[in-house]
Structure 1
């Protein structure tokens, strides 16, 4: 712990705590982080914060209860005063509208920061604006630390390390299959997806590029699927190019590649490809059509207007008990970088969490914040900047395993 943070009032503050994901995150903190944690829940509504605090006390009456901080994120002075009180800030706000304000306050006050922002367009903008400033200030900014893209990033990191450890080989490709993840969206997720329409077609096209978030350009590869958008892997089975967050996850993981030496750790020919598990070609084609239909529904103005009549608004989401009983599961194969793919050593990795994507996200946000708070050991010798979940490395893996997740690798 740095000296200038040792006497801060809070170890941790959750900004946007009364929203759907914020509530789940605060609940995870109350149930799993150390009982002597000094923390606060923050938001605009004192009534909602009081109600949340009462529920958290029922869950864990013997722990230090969170302080209540009423703050309008758009009030930069009050936001700065709040952030200055904490060593780590979890931000679960509307990133499109006020995400930058929280980031700026954290850099100004040298408070480490973690969120679940997933739009590569926003992240690219934040990289350009804040990466160097955060690096100079020694402030860690970690985005996308939720069900999208933390498990994928950590599975890739762990698999690459396993290949290097056992065979002293770099990785050519990480192929990931989404086995199970519920598609019931929260209002915040819907809002984020709909924001894509605010960007021009040219910008949206650039954002599809594999290395859009990486500081250096990697190898451009040819399409790995057939005419139907399908692929088959001997370990993973049938795969369809229908994983709804594949573009985001690829961009985040390729940023990890770039920040860790642009090939020095993962390998110069590394690439990440994500798919959805498919039982047959017909099922896979249906998955692809369904994914494209969702994209059109949330980007074409007339269809968006109709969709908004039925979809949840920000702050709302799937039934919490129902969401808690879902399961997030994915598996991956890392292929060593040799000339003959059939003879290449491979690592199989698996992730599963006993909860839906929002409970998975709450766990990663809380445990990622705990890693920054208690250990803060960053990969590649990083001291700050706009980083990725993989920079929390083995410590975050151990923490997420400690709350019921499986994250494992093995040579195959």
Structure 2
């Protein structure tokens, strides 16, 4: 029987003081210091979103992503049209699909460092392309456009930014095509007549602006940049102890298969933006965008006040003291959105923000608890139909009571023989068999 590779994912349903919290791990999760938890709490009180769009892994501007995610505290995404499977590999023999897996993981590792989220389309990276016209002969343009529109409708960014211009200056057909698609997707996402099948799950969404993030790669020496919108992304974040140039270098250095190793930068770092679509802005890309809980009405304002209270009382030496207040925030969000509502995203404006913030609250609660969950399979591979023993380890490193309701791996539910999670002084290790 042919062996099959299985990617192990662990999920668990927990209760903390009677509230349900879902934890999912596909690989070793990030651990948080108290300062990072505080940064997360501040981010919880910001309802703004930006989507950066380019063609390949390593095309993204990691400094700008780090700045948007950690200084402006925005939900910051990078949409890579491809997974980079048409590139070179300087660290091993894998090419094509195998390289695509590697470069996907490199992107995910980069986002864990710079604070962004990662998205893709189904575009095929077939190597160097001279023109966008050539690219669209290989890519299914409507399919890739639909994927881009889906991400915009699902993530609802206030501002979209392209890495490349929609012409030959981009230097690669894939680059040019990514910008051309972004311009078309900007309008299509807000048009309910385009890709109407998506509207069963999301609402049409019109971002406020679309910019091209231009710079030294694309302008002539001595060119006047005074007409572009600009911001300084070179600041220093005291909660992280790094400048955004330093964070960006660590993030970008994850693209090892491409031989990238970036040096850290410090001090002023100007980013320039040329408007492509949408409302004009005079000084800031997010002019006129309400990033407070007010955008969800009076119920949202009430949630914002609760979050402000959590931030005000946060004790860096005892993060678990914030768990009770965070649970109150979570309950308020559940009341607003309906605990397990399935139609809210299409029927109630702002429901997407509630879902996103619920996930952020859950992550903050787990971080405040010092909660550790790990799944270890006895074998790296298995054949279809074989049983694999998986050891599940749970550790609650706080004084807050936490119970396991259910744990499952690979979609198979397993009822634990004991629902009490281990305390700091003991460690519970259960092993269950699943197929």
With the shorter chain as reference, the TM-score category is under 0.3
With the length of structure 2 as denominator, give the TM-score of the two structures: 0.26
Higher relative contact order (CA 8 A, sep 6+): 1
Larger helix percent: 1
With the length of structure 1 as denominator, give the TM-score of the two structures: 0.27
